[in-house]
Structure 1
Amino acid sequence: MKWSEICIHTTNEAVEPISNILHETGASGLVIEEPLELVNMEDTPFGEIYELDPNDFPDEGVRIKAYLPMNSFLGETVAEIKQAINNLLVYDIDIGQNHVTLSEVHEEEWATAWKKYYKPAKISEKITITPTWEQYTPVDSDEIIIELDPGMAFGTGTHPTTVLSVQALEAYLKEGDTVIDVGSGSGILSIASVLLGASEVHAFDLDDIAIKSTTINAKINKVDNKIIAKQNNLLDQVNKKVNIIVSNILAEIIVRFVDEAWDNLEDGGLFITSGIIQGKKQLVFDRLKESGFEILAINEMEDWISIIAKKTL
């Protein structure tokens, strides 16, 4: 079978929504190329292990690549993708150059092209993420290894929004805590929570493929007995009292369920939010304060923000 590689030159802010658009239209093998990845490779306190070619990365902005089957519907699918991306302007999302190109690839290239970007990476003091097909030997005795198979549909766990979330969990999660993961994706935050000591995690995602991916990766890491993955729209109809709610999702989505997060947290519980672009920091900050949360910390990485808030009465 022949495949078409779609490449979209856009901005960091648009990565999450465009990735979701590609996923919803049936694209596979998502790859994100951004020049800051090369900076991370050379300047990091955690020593990520990357094998990256600078020629694969844009001078500015971000390139998102994915693969579509070459069939009679390809033209319609590409048109649908372009329209959906243009519609992001309605939500005040900067889509940058929004230059879209197509190129033909063969099946064997499609099956392996995206994997070359995914190598073991130490993303916090304790946690290293490694793909299931890579051999990795721990460097430290207390190193926590998360094996991840993104299923060709979700991130590899090294994006700044995920790194900020994991680092916050490592800093604040206590042994025996209960956790809700809103928008679980591949399940990395749910898995990290258990490996850091959580007794139980409820993982929610609107996408049933995400729930399957969370379940598969939980089994790979032998933590499926502590992770309950369920399809759900944010925290709609959820009534659980937990110690931590973590959500790596768009700022515009976070502000929609702040009150529900408050209701599902124990007194003194923490709401860890990530996926927030610099320009939307105040939006989330103000919404959290409005609902009564105390802001404990605001952490930054590249153009991204993570906010840790506490439920205080």
Structure 2
Amino acid sequence: MKWAEFRVHTTQEAVEPVSNILHEEGAAGVAIEDPKDLVTEWSVKFGEVYELSPDDYPTEGVMVKAYFPMNDAFERTIAEVKDRIKGLVAFDIPIAPGTTGYVEVNDDDWANAWKKYYHPVKVTDQIVIVPTWEDYHKKDHELIIELDPGMAFGTGTHPTTVLSLQALEESVKKGDAVIDVGTGSGVLALAAWKLGAERIHAYDLDDVAVTSARENFKLNDAENKIQIAQNNLLNGIEANSAHVVVANILAEVIVTFTDDAYRVVKPGGTFITSGIIERKEQLVKDKIEASGFTITAVQRQEGWVSIIAKKVNE
């Protein structure tokens, strides 16, 4: 079978939403690369095949790559992908230039080509993200999370995820109940478990994400430790049921359920939010405080913000 290596040149802010779209549309693997490292590859290997010319290869921004089977549904799938990426603008996510292109690759080539972009990464003082095919010798204090980025919605290395993991490391205590809202790959739920949480629930509205997270839980022998379910944010979740609620999703979504988060977090508990671009920081802060939380910390990385808030004892 022929496969297409499909590329999207976009902004850092759009990396995770674009990656999610590619996964949802059936990509067999997704990789994020620094385009400045690949000018020669683009010019020599892809110059006559891609819709873009070598001169269009970016010196700024991010290139997101995905692999799709070139079957009867391919053209329809790519058209849908392009439409959905353009639709991100409606959520105030800059995608410019949003240019796309693809090249045909052989079945034997695509399966391993994207893996070269993923290696073990230490994302906090304790947590190390390790791709399933990599050997890694753990140090005594380290907590290892294995992920298969081919099926994951988040590899653990994007700034929004790193900020979330760092906040969890600061907030989770042994025996805590933790809820991961919009779990994606399940990496945050896995981190909570590794950090000693005992009652962990992971929710996502997308059934593809639920399947991906469940597979990653199995990879880490955590399928019986973390409860995964399809759910719309915190709808229907019991009040005062979590010591920590973590949500790494768009700012526009976070502001819609801060009241629910306040209801679900136990008195004295913590609400962690990430996925917030800097220009939306105040919007989210205002809504979190309006719901009754007290903001205790704000962390920033590469234009992204995470907010840690507490529910004061009642």
TM-score above 0.5:
yes
**2:142 alignment counterpart:** 143
Q: Give the 3 Å change call, closer, same or farther, for CA 245–124 of structure 1 in structure 2.
A: same
Q: CA deviation at 1:127?
A: 0.9
**2:308 alignment counterpart:** 308
Superposition RMSD in Å: 1.9
**1:49 alignment counterpart:** none
- Aligned counterparts of 2:132 and 2:91: Cα–Cα separation in 1: 37
- Partner AA of 2:21 in structure 1: I
Q: CA deviation at 1:292?
A: 1.2
**1:195 alignment counterpart:** 194
Aligned identity (percent) is 54
**1:18 alignment counterpart:** 18
Q: CA deviation at 1:303?
A: 1.5
**Number of residue pairs matched?**
297
**1:77 alignment counterpart:** 77
- Partner AA of 1:89 in structure 2: V
Moved more, 20-29 or 3-12: 20-29
**Is the 8 Å Cα contact of residues 151 and 212 (structure 2) preserved in structure 1?**
no
Structure 2: 5+ residue stretches without partners? 42-56
- Aligned counterparts of 1:9 and 1:239: Cα–Cα separation in 2: 42
SS in 2 for 1:190: helix
Q: Give the 3 Å change call, closer, same or farther, for CA 58–28 of structure 1 in structure 2.
A: farther
**1:227 alignment counterpart:** 226
**Is the 8 Å Cα contact of residues 30 and 150 (structure 2) preserved in structure 1?**
no
SS in 2 for 1:124: coil
**Is the 8 Å Cα contact of residues 4 and 104 (structure 2) preserved in structure 1?**
yes
- Partner AA of 2:119 in structure 1: K
SS in 2 for 1:295: strand
- Partner AA of 1:255 in structure 2: V
Q: Deviation digits for residues 19-78 of structure 1, max 9, x if unmatched?
A: 22222222221111246xx9xxxxxxxxxxxxx878679521111111121123322222
**Is the 8 Å Cα contact of residues 298 and 307 (structure 1) preserved in structure 2?**
yes
- Aligned counterparts of 2:151 and 2:210: Cα–Cα separation in 1: 14
**Is the 8 Å Cα contact of residues 23 and 151 (structure 2) preserved in structure 1?**
no
**1:48 alignment counterpart:** none
- Aligned counterparts of 2:38 and 2:134: Cα–Cα separation in 1: 19
Q: Give the 3 Å change call, closer, same or farther, for CA 5–149 of structure 1 in structure 2.
A: same
**2:51 alignment counterpart:** none
SS in 2 for 1:272: strand
**1:133 alignment counterpart:** 133
SS in 2 for 1:18: helix
- Partner AA of 2:12 in structure 1: N
- Aligned counterparts of 1:197 and 1:149: Cα–Cα separation in 2: 23
Q: Give the 3 Å change call, closer, same or farther, for CA 224–81 of structure 1 in structure 2.
A: closer
SS in 2 for 1:256: coil
**1:210 alignment counterpart:** 209
TM-score (norm. length: structure 2): 0.89
**Is the 8 Å Cα contact of residues 245 and 265 (structure 1) preserved in structure 2?**
yes
Query: For 1:1-313, what aligned pairs fall within 5 Å after superposition?
Result: 1-34=1-34, 58-138=58-138, 140-240=139-239, 241-312=241-312, 313=314
- Aligned counterparts of 2:126 and 2:181: Cα–Cα separation in 1: 23
- Partner AA of 1:249 in structure 2: I
**1:42 alignment counterpart:** none
Q: Give the 3 Å change call, closer, same or farther, for CA 157–266 of structure 1 in structure 2.
A: same
- Aligned counterparts of 1:145 and 1:73: Cα–Cα separation in 2: 38
Q: Deviation digits for residues 209-251 of structure 1, max 9, x if unmatched?
A: 3222222222322333321011111111112511000111111
Q: Deviation digits for residues 154-210 of structure 1, max 9, x if unmatched?
A: 222111111111111111111111100011112111111011110110010112232
**Is the 8 Å Cα contact of residues 28 and 153 (structure 1) preserved in structure 2?**
no
